[in-house]
Structure 1
Amino acid sequence: MVNNSMDALVILGATAGGKTALAIAAARHFDGEIISADSRQVYRGMDLGSGKDLAEYAEIPYHLIDIAEAGSEYNLFQFQRDCYAAIKAIHQRRRLPLICGGTGLYLDAVLKGYHLVEVPLNQQLREQVSTLSDEQLRRKLLEIKPQQHNRTDLVERERLLRAYEIALGEARAEPIDPFVWQPLVFGLKWPREMLRRRIRERLNQRLEQGMIAEVENLQAAGVSWEQLEFYGLEYRYIAHYLQGKLRRNEMVQQLANAIGQFAKRQETFFRRMEKHGTRINWLNAQNDPFAQLCRMVEQYRISL
């Protein structure tokens, strides 16, 4: 391990930014294991659409990839629990955990130590609030938990109900000891136009590799069109194409634009994390980010 006072590395950034390649290089250099912080890579069979790139890992151990069935729910509570467990197990092997991903909410939950509890579905509660409008339910949620990290929880009825259930469960739960760790956080930064070009190139590559067939196979295996919509942009737009709602050229163009907009939202989320106290060491992605990371780690070690 690098140093007992820096017990993990975190590598974050927008989609198509090269996070996986950097994490693999760092894992080889620092004798590490990689923990994925991606809300879709947990699902089996969702490979090209989620950008797993498993062949790149070679001998590097990885965690929180392919641990849930497509069509099931894997939530923030489960990720935080599983991520902390993976960190502890890697430390026991005297290796360095490297958390790598672009799902901002997952990253923030483990870096800030969100107070999360496992909350089962509460049918009685749902019946009690069934007559409330979305706006009334939204107000009740915000009274309990004013800071909502995921804005879609305030828009879609089912997510709003679930967020309200969880907020009540968390408010009633006994406090727990926080997970204490000292990660060093890095971010990959690209010029906007270059990142958009990388997004389009990667999209074309994955379409050539069979991403449309991947979505067809998931649907044939029982994952509904509605569930595919929930699993993100690639699955949503390809599902629309397969249902005849979009022509192929329309699907590719709209999907590329949507991924570009998503990348902007990721960057906005990371800036918000910084405003709320997370220190992110930004790396120039065009200028050997691995060398930059190694220099910063060495400087950090010297300063201890």
Structure 2
Amino acid sequence: MPTVVAIVGPTASGKSALAMEIARRTGGEIISCDSMQIYKGMDIGTAKPTPEERAEIPHHLIDIVTPAEEFSCADYRELARRAVYDIASRGKLPIFCGGTGLYLDSALEEERFAPDVDKSIRDELKKLSPDELYERLKECDPETAAKTHKNNVRRVIRALEIYIGTGISKSEWDRRSRTGKKSFNAVKIGLDFRDRAKLYARINARVDEMIAAGLVDEVKNLPEPICKTASQAIGYREFFEYGFDDITLVAEQIKKDTRNYAKRQLTWFRRDPEIKWFYVDEGDGGAQNFKNIVNNAMDIITAALDVI
């Protein structure tokens, strides 16, 4: 059973910096656990790792679909678990990093996947239009079709190839497979602030930095159409709602929405007793405290791996 590390916490708490340092020390690879970083072209507003960081440390599940494509938690679970086994098979440490708690929980939950099928089936399905694919799915697996948008072509094809290749619908595979158990040894590290006002100040400053870095142009240049999920991303939806005439107004709304999102993230993660929490604003609240957090996190990880 592979051991994985998960760095969690609210937005703007420093998760990426901690994950990078742990990856440097362990030779690990990072799996993004962010429901919006999967979209190509949505870089500034989702606070993706920089090209330099991605060149230094391999990152997974970033830039995998266009903003026109729907992407579900089920899609994430399948790709994330494959990434874990791929990384572990090469003797590396998989490190989840992100604030989408639902995605993380789904990835860590045990599931026996439907077997891979002949690639030729997928190749033939790709020749069909989205409407034709979706009609076929409604015929053979109406339950999955009801939960899947027809524009999520990746998931529609996966459900069809499962049925064609095995004779069993994806919905039936899901019923047989889900157990609620954990299939990875997960070391969970959480970042938070003793003083919530300091977290909010960080959030506000980061939004200002995003605006200065070109977020407005990034939103304007997104290709159309944009799927419903991508259009709800914080940092983008505010422009869709308020337009581009008053950037100050939009920036303030982004800050408000991000602060509220941080509250929801903490509510989600705080219910998990397995998370070991560290506080970004303890001590000097700066470089020395970050170093202490890294060292303490490494002690926990080393004990779990018992090989470093």
Q: Does TM-score exceed 0.5, indicating one fold?
A: yes
Tell me how far 1:225 sits from its aligned partner.
Answer: 8.7
Query: d(CA) in 2 for partners of 1:47 and 1:41?
Result: 7
Closer/same/farther in 2, CA of residues 45 and 171 from structure 1, 3 Å limit: same
Closer/same/farther in 2, CA of residues 226 and 97 from structure 1, 3 Å limit: closer
Matched, 1:294 2:290: no
Identity fraction in percent = 31
Matched, 1:181 2:190: no
Whether the 8 Å CA contact 1:225–1:239 is kept in 2: the answer is no
Matched, 1:78 2:75: yes
- The aligned amino acid for 1:198 is R
2:241 counterpart residue number: 240
Query: d(CA) in 2 for partners of 1:173 and 1:280?
Result: 28
- The aligned amino acid for 2:297 is L
Closer/same/farther in 2, CA of residues 204 and 177 from structure 1, 3 Å limit: closer
Closer/same/farther in 2, CA of residues 258 and 182 from structure 1, 3 Å limit: same
| Deviations, residues 158-187 of structure 1 (Å, cap 9, x unaligned) | xxxxxxxx9x96467452387732121111
Unaligned runs of 5+ in 1: 129-140, 142-165
2:257 counterpart residue number: 258
1:269 counterpart residue number: 268
Closer/same/farther in 2, CA of residues 90 and 248 from structure 1, 3 Å limit: same
**What SS class does the counterpart of residue 43 from structure 1 fall into?**
coil
- For residue 67 of structure 1, the aligned residue among 52, 64, 80 is 64
Q: CA RMSD in A?
A: 3.5
Unaligned runs of 5+ in 2: 115-133, 148-158, 160-168, 282-288
Structure-to-structure mapping, 1:16-27, within 5 angstroms: 16-27=12-23
Closer/same/farther in 2, CA of residues 7 and 227 from structure 1, 3 Å limit: closer
Query: d(CA) in 2 for partners of 1:42 and 1:180?
Result: 24
Tell me how far 1:243 sits from its aligned partner.
Answer: 6.1
Structure-to-structure mapping, 1:202-217, within 5 angstroms: 202-217=206-221
- The aligned amino acid for 1:273 is D
**What SS class does the counterpart of residue 56 from structure 2 fall into?**
coil
Matched, 1:89 2:86: yes
| Deviations, residues 209-266 of structure 1 (Å, cap 9, x unaligned) | 0011111000xx2134966533x1211002223265xx32221112111110110000
1:249 counterpart residue number: 248
State how many pairs are aligned. Answer: 256
Whether the 8 Å CA contact 1:115–1:170 is kept in 2: the answer is no
Whether the 8 Å CA contact 1:35–1:97 is kept in 2: the answer is yes
- The aligned amino acid for 2:16 is T
Matched, 1:223 2:225: yes
- The aligned amino acid for 2:184 is W
1:135 counterpart residue number: none
Matched, 1:34 2:33: no
Q: TM-score, normalised by structure 1?
A: 0.73
| Deviations, residues 248-297 of structure 1 (Å, cap 9, x unaligned) | 222111211111011000000112334xxxx0011222322212211222
Tell me how far 1:300 sits from its aligned partner.
Answer: 4.0
1:282 counterpart residue number: 277
